[in-house]
């Protein structure tokens, strides 16, 4: 009995949804909720405006730190952070219009440091945020708008804890085809991309949007597209590999957008836009397709269902609206959120309540905050206690250093540099960008290299003496 109780405690500690880090929600047209009392209460002073993407994060006690619409970053006082403008994002007349256009990840083993990942209409970027700066209100550092992808991406962006409970897998998807791009966030920074081709093929660039969501346990991933694709996978938190693809696409083509999982990981919810139907699948059953149940069928053709989000109270909230409205128009659905009150329950017992959470006169549009499960711990019983990356392990010599790092125009390699040494630089895909003979303390010109993450090696006769991750930034960076 004691062993059973201990096992249950370990499992529960890994699946309880965050009660702190996702306490504050900022989304839509200056709308917001907070869950500090356990139930949702509206926020009236948000500065955020966004058609779709938003992300926010609180500290471990539930106090708001900052939030973003993928274009700007606001501090807890609703002021734009220093250097918090002009993030890489797709901008339209009313903010950003990328389904999951931003995501906040704490930097492993570095308190008060965060990565803000953003998608524009083509590429994935990240910017670093240091909450130790600006008197504790935070600042976007010079490590800003670092481009991670060279291929075009869809509007999907999410993350899950590595099996070691420390690092993070950040995942997006190619605009065309069926390739997932995975990045590993460690105490040393962002590694990748690691590519995997699996699932249904997206054959058109117009099929970019729709949500991609992990279960709270991190063992399943769902991807939905506005071109009727529904892909369900198993996910290995240790290796980052997707497997056991199940194609759940509809027989009758309908545009899809929203997706969510119940807290227990057994119920999958998918919504169409328009006409605004909501379906439930039981993915713990043998025949998942046969378990499809219609939960809500809106009678109006111009009714839209937007993004889903699991909340600290264990309920799933969904934004809803009539067809795309002028920016100044408010209506009953977009001034309220709908809610699945009992998402673990089967069929209609899940208790879907339309337009029941008032936003205090503010309005949602299509998006809700993008939250990974910040409280997911290490995978119990996993043998995955070491990390692998696409880079070879190099024995770094303390007598050699590269500085400054990050840098904008040049860097220097100092220390144990010998006759015949050369410096080489590769991008994340292994492409050689720079190769030249050097002497100690020689300035290496990188002004012609775009901002991004690279590997710099010091070699002699093809023997690697030293290797270091290097970040190229724009502007005049000062260490």
Q: How confident is the model at residue 183 (pLDDT cuts 50, 70, 90)?
A: very high
Q: Are strands 303-310 and 293-297 parallel, antiparallel or unpaired?
A: unpaired
On whether both 168 and 288 belong to a single domain, the answer is yes
Q: Is the pLDDT of residue 424 over 50?
A: yes
Distance CA 115, CA 121 (A): 20
Q: Is the pLDDT of residue 433 over 70?
A: yes
Strand order in the sheet with 242-247: 212-214, 220-224, 230-235, 242-247
On whether both 336 and 463 belong to a single domain, the answer is no
Place of tokens 């945020």: 129
Asked if the structure places residue 376 within a domain, the reply is no
On whether both 121 and 206 belong to a single domain, the answer is yes
Distance CA 263, CA 280 (A): 14
On whether both 332 and 404 belong to a single domain, the answer is no
Q: How confident is the model at residue 84 (pLDDT cuts 50, 70, 90)?
A: very high
- Residue 211 · residue 99 · CB < 8 Å: yes
Q: How confident is the model at residue 406 (pLDDT cuts 50, 70, 90)?
A: confident
Q: Is the pLDDT of residue 208 over 60?
A: yes
Range of 10-14, 15-19, 207-211 with top mean pLDDT = 207-211
Sign of CA dihedral 15, 21, 27, 31: positive
Distance CA 227, CA 205 (A): 10
Q: What is the CA angle 90-225-88, rounded to 5?
A: 15
The mean of the pLDDT values for the chain is 85
* 221: β partners: 214, 233
- Residue 159 · residue 100 · CB < 8 Å: no
Quick count: other Cβ atoms within 10 Å of Cβ 270?
A: 25
Quick count: other Cβ atoms within 10 Å of Cβ 327?
A: 12
Joined tokens for residue 128? 């670093």
Asked if the structure places residue 210 within a domain, the reply is yes
On whether both 116 and 247 belong to a single domain, the answer is yes
- Residue 271 · residue 305 · CB < 8 Å: yes
Asked if the structure places residue 319 within a domain, the reply is yes
Q: Is 81 left (phi over 0), alpha (psi -120 to 50) or beta?
A: beta
The arithmetic mean of pLDDT across residues 65-81, rounded, is 97
Asked if the structure places residue 69 within a domain, the reply is yes
Asked if the structure places residue 371 within a domain, the reply is no
Joined tokens for residue 234? 């198993």
Intra-chain end-to-end CA distance of the chain, in Å: 56
Q: How confident is the model at residue 477 (pLDDT cuts 50, 70, 90)?
A: very low
pLDDT digits (tens, 9 = 90+) for 270-280: 998 877 899 99
Helix and strand totals (H; E) in the chain: 1, 36
Q: Is the pLDDT of residue 103 over 90?
A: yes
- Domain final position from 292, 327, 358: 358
Q: Note the pLDDT of residue 453.
A: 80
Joined tokens for residue 413? 């390699």
Which letter does DSSP use for residue 134 in this model? G
Q: Which of 3-7, 37-41, 243-247 has the lowest mean pLDDT?
A: 3-7
Q: Which of 20-34, 195-209, 336-350, 380-394 has the lowest mean pLDDT?
A: 380-394
Distance CA 309, CA 242 (A): 23
On whether both 126 and 198 belong to a single domain, the answer is yes
Asked if the structure places residue 370 within a domain, the reply is no
* 318: β partners: 308, 338
CATH code (residue 407): 2.60.40.10
pLDDT digits (tens, 9 = 90+) for 210-221: 999 999 999 999
356-360 contacts at long range (C-beta below 8 A, 24 or more positions apart): 357/33, 357/40, 357/317, 358/42, 359/28, 359/31, 359/32, 359/33, 359/42, 359/335, 360/42, 360/43, 360/44
The arithmetic mean of pLDDT across residues 231-253, rounded, is 89
On whether both 353 and 433 belong to a single domain, the answer is no
Asked if the structure places residue 383 within a domain, the reply is no
Q: Is the pLDDT of residue 459 over 70?
A: yes
Q: Note the pLDDT of residue 430.
A: 67
* 139: β partners: 130
On whether both 282 and 153 belong to a single domain, the answer is yes
The arithmetic mean of pLDDT across residues 176-189, rounded, is 92
- Residue 274 · residue 320 · CB < 8 Å: no
Q: Is the pLDDT of residue 87 over 60?
A: yes
Which letter does DSSP use for residue 162 in this model? -
Q: Is the pLDDT of residue 11 over 70?
A: no
CA atoms within 13 A on the CB side of 314: 12
- Residue 41 · residue 33 · CB < 8 Å: yes
CA atoms within 13 A on the CB side of 6: 5
Q: Note the pLDDT of residue 300.
A: 67
Q: Is the pLDDT of residue 152 over 90?
A: no
On whether both 209 and 348 belong to a single domain, the answer is yes
On whether both 93 and 235 belong to a single domain, the answer is yes
Q: Note the pLDDT of residue 287.
A: 93
**Which residue did the predictor score with more confidence, 129 or 416?**
129
**Which residue did the predictor score with more confidence, 430 or 148?**
148
Q: Note the pLDDT of residue 131.
A: 98
On whether both 346 and 467 belong to a single domain, the answer is no
On whether both 420 and 301 belong to a single domain, the answer is no
Q: Which of 84-88, 199-203, 248-252, 300-304 has the lowest mean pLDDT?
A: 300-304
Q: Note the pLDDT of residue 218.
A: 97
The arithmetic mean of pLDDT across residues 51-74, rounded, is 95
The arithmetic mean of pLDDT across residues 312-335, rounded, is 75
Q: What is the DSSP string of 275-304?
A: S-EEEEEETTSS-TGGG-EEEEE-S-TTEE
Structural domains counted in the chain: 2
Q: How confident is the model at residue 91 (pLDDT cuts 50, 70, 90)?
A: low
- Domain final position from 300, 328, 358: 358
Domain that holds residue 183: 2-358
Asked if the structure places residue 179 within a domain, the reply is yes
For the chain, state the CA radius of gyration. 23
CATH code (residue 155): 2.130.10.10
- Domain final position from 358, 383, 411: 358
- Residue 305 · residue 315 · CB < 8 Å: no
């Amino acid at each position: 009995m004691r062993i059973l109780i201990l096992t249950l405690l370990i499992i529960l500690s890994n699946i309880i949804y965050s009660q702190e880090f996702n306490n504050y929600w900022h989304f839509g047209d200056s709308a917001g909720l907070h869950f500090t009392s356990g139930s949702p209460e509206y926020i009236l002073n948000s500065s955020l405006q966004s058609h779709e993407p938003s992300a926010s994060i609180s500290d471990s006690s539930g106090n708001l730190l900052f939030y973003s619409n993928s274009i700007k970053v606001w501090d807890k006082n609703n002021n734009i952070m220093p250097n918090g403008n002009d993030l890489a994002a797709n901008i339209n007349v009313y903010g950003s219009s990328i389904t999951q256009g931003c995501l906040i990840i704490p930097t492993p083993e570095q308190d008060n440091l965060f990565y803000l990942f953003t998608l524009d209409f083509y590429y994935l970027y990240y910017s670093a945020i240091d909450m130790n700066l600006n008197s504790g209100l935070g600042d976007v550092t010079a490590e800003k708008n670092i481009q991670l992808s060279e291929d075009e991406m869809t509007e999907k962006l999410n993350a899950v804890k590595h099996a070691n409970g420390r690092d993070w897998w950040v995942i997006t998807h190619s605009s065309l085809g069926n390739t997932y791009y995975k990045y590993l966030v460690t105490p040393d920074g962002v590694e990748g991309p690691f590519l995997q081709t699996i699932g249904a093929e997206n054959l058109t660039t117009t099929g970019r949007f729709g949500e991609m969501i992990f279960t709270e346990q991190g063992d399943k991933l769902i991807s939905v597209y506005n071109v009727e694709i529904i892909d369900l996978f198993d996910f290995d938190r240790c290796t980052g590999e997707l497997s056991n693809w199940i194609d759940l696409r509809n027989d009758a083509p309908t545009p899809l957008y929203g997706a969510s999982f119940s807290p227990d990981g057994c119920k999958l919810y998918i919504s169409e836009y328009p006409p605004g139907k909501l379906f439930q699948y039981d993915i713990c059953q043998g025949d998942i397709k046969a378990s499809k149940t219609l939960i809500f069928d809106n009678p109006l053709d111009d009714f839209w269902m937007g993004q889903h989000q699991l909340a600290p109270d264990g309920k799933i909230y969904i934004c809803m609206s009539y067809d795309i409205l002028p920016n100044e128009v408010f209506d009953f659905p977009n001034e309220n959120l709908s809610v699945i009150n009992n998402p673990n329950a089967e069929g209609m017992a899940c208790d879907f309540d339309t337009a029941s959470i008032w936003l205090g006169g503010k309005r949602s549009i299509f998006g809700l905050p993008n939250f990974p499960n910040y409280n997911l711990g290490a995978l119990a019983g996993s043998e995955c206690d070491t990390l692998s990356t696409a880079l070879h392990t190099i024995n770094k010599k303390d007598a050699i250093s590269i500085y400054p790092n990050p840098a904008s125009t040049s860097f220097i390699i100092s220390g144990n540099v010998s006759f015949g040494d050369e410096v080489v630089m590769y991008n994340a895909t292994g492409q050689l960008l720079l190769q030249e003979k050097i002497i100690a303390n020689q300035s290496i010109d990188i002004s012609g290299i775009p901002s991004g993450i690279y590997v710099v090696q010091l070699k002699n006769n093809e023997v690697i003496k030293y290797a270091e991750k290097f970040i190229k930034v724009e502007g005049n960076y000062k260490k």
